[in-house]
Structure 1
Amino acid sequence: MDSALTTIGLPAALGIIMLGLGLSLTIRDFTRLLSMPWTIVLILGCQIVLLPLFCFGLVLVFVTYFDLSPLLAVGMMMMAASPGGTTASLYSYLFKGNVALNISLTAINSVTAIVTLPLITGFALGYFTEGGSIGLQAGKMIQVFAVILVPVAIGMLIRAKLTSFAERMERPVKLGSSLVLVAVIIGAIAAEWENLPQYIVSVGLMVLIFNVVSLVVGYWAPRMVGTRRPEAIASCMEIGLHNTTLSMTIAITVLNSTEIAIPSAVYGVLMFFSAAIAGALLLRRDAREAEAEVAAAGG
C-alpha cells in the first residue's frame, strides 16, 4: 500500500510515539536494571529467544497443516520479534505490577530490537519466501534503526536538558501519536477491507494461541524462580503486549507489504482484551491468596 497515510503517517506516528517514550526516560531508568539482573535476564530471555522460537514452531504447524501464506508467516515472526509495547506500563499499573520494571524493560527492549527484529525478520523472509525477495537490504535496516533509535535519543536529550518542558509535553505527545496511529490503522484496514475476514480466519487462532502463551510464560516463568508478584505481573504485561506499531510500520513502509502487517494488526487489537482478562484473573488470584492468609492467621 503506497498511500501517503501509511508511507508518511505511520512512520510519523511511530516516531512521535518513540519520541514520547524518550521524553519519559532518563539514564536512571537503565540503572534500575542493576538491582534485579537475573530477573531482567530471565524476562528478556523469554521475550527475545524462547517466544520467537515457540512462534516459529507454531508458524510451521500452520504452514504445514493450514496452508498459511509465506507473507503471513513472516508477519507472525516479525510480530513475535517486536519488543514490549509502551502500554505495558499502563496495564502493569492497573493490575499492581512493578511499573518501574516495565519502563526499564521497554527501554532496553526498544534498544535490543534494533538488532534482533531485523535479524529475525530477515531469517523469516529467507526461510518462508524462498530467498527473501523482499529482504532487508542494508539501507532498509538503517531505516528501521533510525525510525526506532533516533526519536528515543532525541526525547531523552530533551528531557535531560529541558526537564520541565519534557514533563509537560509527555501527555500531548502521547495523545497526538495515538490519534495519528488510529487514523493510520483505520486507513490500512480500509485498504484491505475485502481481504480482512480471510486474514482473521488465517491468523486469528494462531495469534490467539501465541498471545495466551506469551501472557502465561510472562507471568509464570519469573514466578517459578521465586520472583515477587509485582515483578511477575510486569513481566506478564511486557511480554504479552507487543509494540505492534513498530512491526506494522516496518511491514508497510519498509517491506511494502500490507499482508505482512496483518498478524500485527490482529494481535494489536486482541492483546488489549486478553491482557485485561489476564490482569483481572491475577487480581482475583491475589485476592484469594490474601483471604487465605487472613484465614490461616485467624485459625
Structure 2
Amino acid sequence: MKILAKISSFAGNTFAIWVILVGVISFFYPAGFQWIAPHVGILLGIIMFGMGLTLTPQDFKAILKTPKSVLVAVMVQYTIMPLLAYLLVTIFRLSPEIAVGIILVGCCPGGTASNIITFLAKGNTALSISITTVSTLLAPILTPTLTLLLASEWMAVSFIEMFLSIVQVVLIPIILGFIVRRVLQDQVEKSIDVLPLISVIGIVAVAGAVISVNTEEIATSGLFIFAVVILHNLLGLLFGFLIARLCKFNVTDQKAISIEVGMQNSALASQLALKFFVATPIAAVPGALFGVWHNISGPILATFWSKYHEKNKG
C-alpha cells in the first residue's frame, strides 16, 4: 500500500505532464484510446465515487463555518464562468457545436484538481473542498438549467435528460462514496492516499478518449478552440480573485476562490457533450482542452502564489 501511495502522490504532483502526454499520444495514435469513449460516463462515476470517499461530516461542518465565502464562490462559479463562455462564443462567432462545448464547460461545477492546486498555492484548502462539494452537489440542477438558457439557441438541450445523467454519474457516486467511508471508515482511511492515482487515471483517460475521436477536427480548428479555452480559464481565475478581493476575504480565501472559479470539471463537460451531442463529437473537445490547459495554468499559478507567500512570510 505504501508503494501505491507513493505512486499516487507522484501522479498527483505530475498531473499536468500526464494530461499533456496522453493528449499528444491520443492525437497521433487515436486507435489506442477510441475504445474508451463509450465508457467515459463510468470513468466519471468512478472519479466522483473517489471524491465521495474523501468527504467527511467535518467537511460539511466547515461549510457552515464559512457560509459567506462558500456562497460567494459558488455564485461566482455559476454566473461568471457561464457568462464568460457565452460572451466568448458570441464575440468569436464560433460554430454551434464548438459554442455548445465551451458553454458546457462554463456551466459545470469546479474540478476536483482545484483542491490540490489550492493546497500547493498555500490557499485555504478547507474552503476549496467546501466550494467544490457544494458546486458539485448543485450541478444536477444548475448545469442543465444554465446550459438550456445559454446554449439552446445553437442546439436542442434536454433539461430532464441532462439532469438525470448528472445525477447518475455525479450525485449518486458521491453519495455512495460518502456512505462507504462512513461504514468502512478504517479500511477507507488506509487506502485514502491511493485515491489521487485513480482520479488522475480517470481524468487522463477521458481527455485521451475525447481527443482520439476528434483528431481531424482538432487538426483544423484545435488551436483556435485552445486559444478560447485559455482565455476562458484565465478570465475565470482573474474575476474569481477580484470578486473575492472586493468582498474583503483574506488572501488565502482569495486564492481558493480564484482557483475554484477558474478550474472547471472538464471531464463532466466532455461526458455530457459526448452523450447529448452524439452527432457532433467535437462539442466534447473544449472540455478535453480545458482539462489539459487548467492543469498547466493551475500549477503555474500555485507555484507563483506559493513563492510569493514564502517571500512575504520571510
- The CA distance in 1 between the partners of 2:90 and 2:247, in whole Å, is 31
TM-score (norm 1): 0.86
Q: SS at the partner of 2:171?
A: helix
- The equivalent residue for 1:190 is 212
TM-score (norm 2): 0.83
Q: SS at the partner of 1:195?
A: helix
- The CA distance in 2 between the partners of 1:137 and 1:53, in whole Å, is 19
Q: Please tell me whether residue 98 in structure 1 is matched to residue 124 in structure 2.
A: yes
Q: Please tell me whether residue 11 in structure 1 is matched to residue 47 in structure 2.
A: no
Q: Please tell me whether residue 80 in structure 1 is matched to residue 106 in structure 2.
A: yes
1:284 deviates by 4.2
RMSD, aligned α-carbons: 2.0
Identity across matched positions, percent: 26
- The CA distance in 2 between the partners of 1:280 and 1:203, in whole Å, is 26
Q: SS at the partner of 1:198?
A: helix
Change (3 A) 1:146 1:229: same
Task: Say whether the 8 Å CA contact 2:117–2:299 is kept in structure 1.
Answer: yes
- The equivalent residue for 1:226 is 248
Task: State which structure, 1 or 2, has the greater radius of gyration over its C-alpha atoms.
Answer: 1
Aligned length in residues: 280
Task: Say whether the 8 Å CA contact 1:199–1:262 is kept in structure 2.
Answer: no
- The equivalent residue for 1:280 is 303
- The CA distance in 1 between the partners of 2:272 and 2:306, in whole Å, is 36
- Which AA in structure 1 matches 2:60? F
- The equivalent residue for 2:174 is 152
Q: SS at the partner of 1:127?
A: coil
Change (3 A) 1:222 1:104: same
- Which AA in structure 2 matches 1:156? F
**Structure 1: gaps (5+ residues):** 292-299
- The equivalent residue for 2:269 is 247
- The equivalent residue for 2:184 is 162
Counterpart pick for 2:55 among 14, 19, 25: 25
- The CA distance in 2 between the partners of 1:271 and 1:227, in whole Å, is 24
- Which AA in structure 1 matches 2:38? T
**Structure 2: gaps (5+ residues):** 1-33
- Which AA in structure 2 matches 1:216? L
- Which AA in structure 2 matches 1:182? V
Change (3 A) 1:43 1:151: same
Task: Say whether the 8 Å CA contact 1:251–1:261 is kept in structure 2.
Answer: yes
- The CA distance in 1 between the partners of 2:190 and 2:268, in whole Å, is 25
1:269 deviates by 0.6
- The CA distance in 1 between the partners of 2:201 and 2:66, in whole Å, is 36
- The equivalent residue for 2:25 is none
